[in-house]
Amino acid sequence: MTSVSTPARWAARPAGPTRTVLAFTAVGAALLLVGTASVALGSVRIPVPEVLAGLAGEGSRGTLSILWDVRLPRVGLALLIGANLAASGTLLQAVMHNPLADPGLTGVSSGAAVAVLFVILTAPQWTHLIPPVALVGGVVATVMVFTFAWQRHNGFTPLRVILAGVAVNSIFGGITGMLSILHSDRLPAALQWLNGSLAGTGMDDLGTLLPYSLLGWIAALVCIRPANILRLGEQTAMGIGLNVTLARLLLCGVAVHLAAISVSTVGLIGFVGLVVPHITRMLVGSNYLVRIPFGLALGAVVLVAADTLGRTVISPLEVPAGIVMAVVGGPYFLYLMRRGGT
């Protein structure tokens, strides 16, 4: 992959220690506030004192059931998935030197989604294999994107990777439509998943996703050093002694893992991996030692907020978090393009 000059507007100035501490304090407070609101709000509102009592195991049976069987698992999943998608987008942007790269736009999410949908519609007895199947789908999509984007003399450029991602999304979108037509009798069970909804999730889903997420977060932290070296440029990275190809494969692999396991659980939720890394870069700078941990926390805040908004804005009806993020993320994507992000 050839080096790509980073746009001046994308290269954020380093954040000082005071600013970094303030940013982490603010995102921690926001996470606590949004998490509490998400547990308390819904078709049945639970006052905060009752929420605190329920966390201690006290309260009526109905309140405890709502908290422990519905609200807390859902908030926990939103935290994990938001963090996963934010970290995935951050790593993909590090590889591509492009602030418009994210799991959805580069085809990773759609590849994982097709693999999962295939299992749901054609072999529901194998649903316990959905996480690894989603990972395979994400890897296939990533290989397709880089294959289509490759030029013999120029290698990869950010624009070609994004365009290849659009093409791969289109291909997998067609496959999704074909599967939906061929198995229309089973489609209602998958519609909620296709829209990126956390409705109906429980402790089993949380328990399944948690180990995959922790593994991905540890791997993302391992990627901090190569990601920081890559942002210096390919020639400088090679001069330092970094195996650039291996480093990019590592970052891509971790990004695909994080995106695929998230898609396997709740379906397609776009733009978290686009919006969060950009805001993170503005708040705490370009150092991945700070960006990745901060992005994990901010991604959790964003998706919990989106899910809470979707549950409450037209209650008792519910808007899936994937749709909420599309409404917010689409205009933000256009804003980045207008600023000359590519």
Q: What is the pLDDT of residue 33?
A: 95
Measured between alpha carbons, how far is 153 from 132 in angstroms, rounded to an integer?
A: 35
Residue in this structure with the two tokens 């309260």, named with its chain if needed: 59
Q: What is the pLDDT of residue 342?
A: 45
Residue pLDDT tens, the chain, 342 long:
444 444 444 445 566 778 899 999 999 999 999 999 999 988 888 898 999 888 888 888 888 889 999 999 999 999 999 999 999 999 998 888 877 778 887 788 889 999 999 988 888 888 788 888 999 999 999 889 888 887 776 666 667 777 888 899 899 989 988 988 888 877 776 777 888 889 888 899 999 999 999 999 999 999 999 999 988 887 888 888 888 888 888 998 999 999 999 998 888 898 899 889 999 998 998 899 999 999 999 999 999 999 999 998 887 888 999 999 999 888 877 877 777 544
Query: Is the residue at 45 inside a domain?
Result: yes
Q: How many CB atoms lie within 10 A of CB 163?
A: 14
Query: Is the residue at 321 inside a domain?
Result: yes
Q: Which domain holds residue 292?
A: 17-338
Q: What is the pLDDT of residue 7?
A: 42
Query: Is the residue at 273 inside a domain?
Result: yes
Query: Is the residue at 12 inside a domain?
Result: no
Q: What is the pLDDT of residue 9?
A: 45
Please calculate the CA angle 224-112-163 and round it to the nearest 5 degrees.
75
H-state helical runs in 97-157:
108-122, 130-149
The CATH number of residue 333's host domain is 1.10.3470.10
Query: Is the residue at 3 inside a domain?
Result: no
The total of structural domains in the chain comes to 1
Q: What is the pLDDT of residue 42?
A: 82
Query: Is the residue at 4 inside a domain?
Result: no
pTM over 0.85: yes
Query: Is the residue at 6 inside a domain?
Result: no
Query: Is the residue at 11 inside a domain?
Result: no
